[in-house]
Structure formats: C-alpha cells, structure tokens
C-alpha cells in the first residue's frame, strides 16, 4: 500500500561561489518539483550552512543537526553542482560527508552545470561513485545545463524551454525510485 505522506525531495545547491549560475538551475529544479502533486521540496543552499571543519576529522564534528534532519526526512535528493576542474566542489563533499545513515536506500538525481559545452557531465561522473559510497541510489537520468550563461537570463529566467522536457523525464524517474525505495525501507527487511 502506498504511503499517503508526500514525498520530500529537497534540492541541494552545491556551490558557494559568488555569481553562481548553478543557483538558477537549482531554482528551476525547485520550481518544477513543487508543481508535482504529492511532493514537497525546498532549496538547501550549502552557502547558508555552517561548515565547521572539526578538529578530529570525525564526521560528528562537522554534523549540522538541521541538515541531518532534512536528509533523514528526505525520500530523494536532487544535487545541483557546477563542474570545478572536472569534478565537484570540495564544500559540497564536506556537507554531504556530514551525514551517513540518513542517505541509505534513498534516490538521488544529479544536475550538472557548466559554462562549457558538456553540461557538467564530468561533475556527474565524479559524483556517481560518491553517491554509491554514501548509500544513495543514483537514477539513470541526469539534467545537464551546458553553456549555462546562455540558458538563463540575468534574473534567472530559463531561456531554453526544451530543458523542461528533460527535467520532466528526470523527475518522473526520481519520483518512481523515491516511492519504490521508500516502500522498501518501510516494508522489506534486509534480513
């Protein structure tokens, strides 16, 4: 029996740089998720999270209770990350590493953002092994915002409406996986 509780799918904006075009991509993802019946979302901007480094390198030392609560509640995640030198921002990794058990058997979809023609494919490629290590289940669709400076205007308005079809396909897969995994977490024992 399917739960009547809405899915909770937060969008994590994974960069703190000034002038970040990824913020526009994250806003569009939140907007598109919010249109879905039976789904709740919110933007989690890592720039707004405290980021202690911890003296002993233990994950508990960098843990943010508010972020951990949201990850525990989440049925799935959308990560929006720019490509930094063929990989992901170090602070995104730092934030993600602050949780462990909260991610187990939950779906994740990755949105890559790049000023170049490849649309963050290398950041997605770099993030996939990390998602597995964290216990997240990566969906097989991605959204790639290539030449991002041409995709959004200065106010963040999406200029290329063809992205909405890609986002729709991505979200359908993510929501299916989120429901399936939630059912499994709630009803099927690992034993």
CA distance 21 to 152: 8
What pLDDT does 3 receive? 64
Name the β-bridge partners of 39. 7
What pLDDT does 1 receive? 46
How much is the pTM?
A: 0.94
Fold of 7-185: Rossmann fold (3.40.50)
pLDDT tens, the chain, 191 aa long = 456 899 999 999 999 988 899 999 999 999 999 999 999 999 999 999 987 776 655 666 778 899 999 999 999 999 999 988 888 999 999 999 999 999 999 999 999 999 888 878 999 999 999 999 999 999 999 999 999 999 999 999 999 999 999 999 999 999 999 999 999 999 999 88
Cβ-based neighbours of 108, under 8 Å, separated by 6 or more: 76, 77, 78, 79, 131, 136, 137, 138, 139
Q: Are 36 and 67 in contact (CB under 8 A)?
A: no
Q: Where are the domains of the chain?
A: 7-185
Cβ-based neighbours of 159, under 8 Å, separated by 6 or more: 150, 151, 152, 153
Residue burial 133-168, b: 16+ Cβ < 10 Å; e: rest: ebebbbbebbbbbbebeebbeeeeebeeeebeebbe
């Amino acid at each position: 029996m399917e739960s009547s509780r809405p899915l909770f799918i937060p969008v994590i904006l994974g960069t703190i740089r000034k002038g970040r075009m990824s913020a526009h991509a994250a806003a569009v993802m939140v907007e598109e998720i919010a249109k879905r019946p039976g789904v709740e979302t919110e933007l989690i901007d890592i720039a707004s999270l405290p980021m202690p480094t911890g003296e002993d390198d233990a994950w508990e030392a960098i843990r943010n209770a508010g972020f951990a609560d949201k990850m525990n509640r989440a049925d799935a995640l959308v990560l929006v990350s720019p490509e930094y030198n063929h990989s992901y921002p170090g602070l995104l990794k730092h934030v993600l590493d602050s949780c462990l058990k909260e991610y187990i058997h939950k779906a994740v979809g990755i949105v890559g953002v790049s000023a170049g023609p490849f649309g963050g494919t290398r950041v997605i490629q770099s993030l996939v092994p990390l998602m597995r290590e964290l216990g997240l289940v990566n969906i097989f669709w991605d959204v790639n915002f290539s030449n991002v400076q041409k995709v959004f205007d200065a106010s963040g308005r999406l200029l290329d409406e063809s992205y909405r079809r890609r986002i729709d396909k991505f979200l359908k897969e993510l929501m299916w996986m989120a429901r399936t995994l939630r059912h499994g977490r709630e009803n099927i024992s690992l034993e």
